[in-house]
């Protein structure tokens, strides 16, 4: 009955017909009802948006992005039958990602591709709005990356992983379950702890990563995101 009252507050003829069995809806009550409905719909939208972010120890959804040559690459295809997959958020203009970590990443790829019969899959993702396809191609060639570096043009994949900085890594096991998220190690200059390597060794061995070691804080340049009209409220 209340829904009918709301309907009749906008249609006077129907309202007069319904008034005998319904309470009268004043203009203020009509406005109040509209506000309540709007807030409810907005809350549903926010909940849906938040549910699109992957959490630790849950399966990562498939996604497809293009590399600098325009070729499409799907996560599930790249990670098929791999003991582990490392998703790295990278940047071409970030000194920390280039001057400190690019060579470490190359060394890691070499180590895990030569030491294991089933190679670990590394996937680079560039989500910075200002960095071009041409820059990504030059960057990959300069450091000799032997893995695809994909462009995330609207940073949807960065949003899905919750990536905030470069470099930042997300480690998936053979079932594509997210097992580790955060930094490669504990220092851009002289690291004493190697978070990603330790997590990789455990995942490849089929062992659990201790809860306190599943997530660390990445240090680097912030990912420069595109402005989303339905999310970004910054003036």
What was the pLDDT predicted at 118? 67
Radius of gyration of the chain from its Cα atoms, rounded to whole angstroms = 25
pLDDT of residue 169: 98
Omega prior to 63 cis, within 30 of 0: no
Q: Is 226 exposed, middle or buried (0-12, 13-18, 19+ CB in 10 A)?
A: middle
pLDDT digits (tens, 9 = 90+) for 157-202: 999 999 999 999 999 999 999 999 999 999 999 999 999 999 999 9
- Measured N-to-C along each axis, helices 195-204 and 102-114 cross at an angle, to the nearest 10 degrees, of 20
Q: What is the pLDDT along the chain (235 residues), one digit of tens a residue?
A: 444 444 444 444 444 444 444 444 445 454 444 343 444 444 444 434 444 899 999 999 999 999 999 999 999 999 999 999 999 999 999 999 999 999 999 999 999 987 666 689 999 999 999 999 999 999 999 999 999 999 999 999 999 999 999 999 999 999 999 999 999 999 999 999 999 999 999 999 999 999 999 999 999 999 999 986 655 433 3
Domain borders along the chain are 2-51, 64-222
Sign of CA dihedral 212, 200, 182, 54: negative
Question: Tokens in use for 69?
Answer: 């040559």
Superfamily of domain 64-222: Glutaredoxin (3.40.30.10)
* pLDDT at residue 221, rounded to an integer: 97
Distance of alpha carbon 68 from alpha carbon 72, whole angstroms: 10
Supply 12's token pair: 């006077």
Nearest-CA neighbor of 110 among 61, 78, 143, 79?
A: 143
Query: On the CB side of 153, how many CA atoms lie within 13 Å of its CA?
Result: 8
For residues 228 and 204, what is the distance between their CA atoms, to the nearest angstrom?
38
Predicted local confidence at residue 115, as pLDDT: 65
């Amino acid at each position: 009955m209340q829904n009918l009252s709301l309907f009749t507050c906008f249609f006077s003829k129907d309202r007069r017909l319904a008034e005998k069995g319904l309470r009268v809806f004043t203009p203020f009550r009509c406005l109040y009802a509209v506000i309540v409905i709007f807030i409810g719909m907005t809350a549903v939208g926010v909940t849906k948006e938040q549910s699109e972010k992957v959490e630790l120890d849950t399966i990562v959804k498939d996604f497809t992005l293009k590399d600098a040559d325009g070729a499409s690459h799907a996560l599930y295809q790249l990670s098929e039958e791999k003991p582990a997959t490392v998703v790295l958020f990278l940047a071409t203009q970030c000194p920390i990602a280039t001057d400190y970590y690019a060579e470490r990443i190359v060394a890691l790829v070499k180590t895990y591709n030569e030491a294991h019969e089933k190679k670990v899959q590394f996937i680079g993702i560039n989500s910075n709005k200002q960095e071009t396809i041409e820059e990504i191609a030059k960057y990959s060639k300069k450091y000799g990356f032997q893995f695809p570096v994909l462009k995330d043009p609207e940073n949807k994949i960065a949003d899905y992983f919750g990536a905030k900085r470069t470099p930042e890594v997300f480690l998936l096991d053979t079932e594509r379950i997210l097992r580790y998220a955060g930094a490669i190690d504990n220092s851009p200059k002289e690291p004493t702890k190697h978070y990603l390597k330790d997590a990789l060794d455990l995942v490849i061995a089929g062992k659990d990563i201790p809860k306190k070691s599943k997530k660390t804080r990445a240090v680097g340049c912030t990912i420069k995101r595109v402005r989303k009209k339905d999310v970004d409220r910054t003036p």
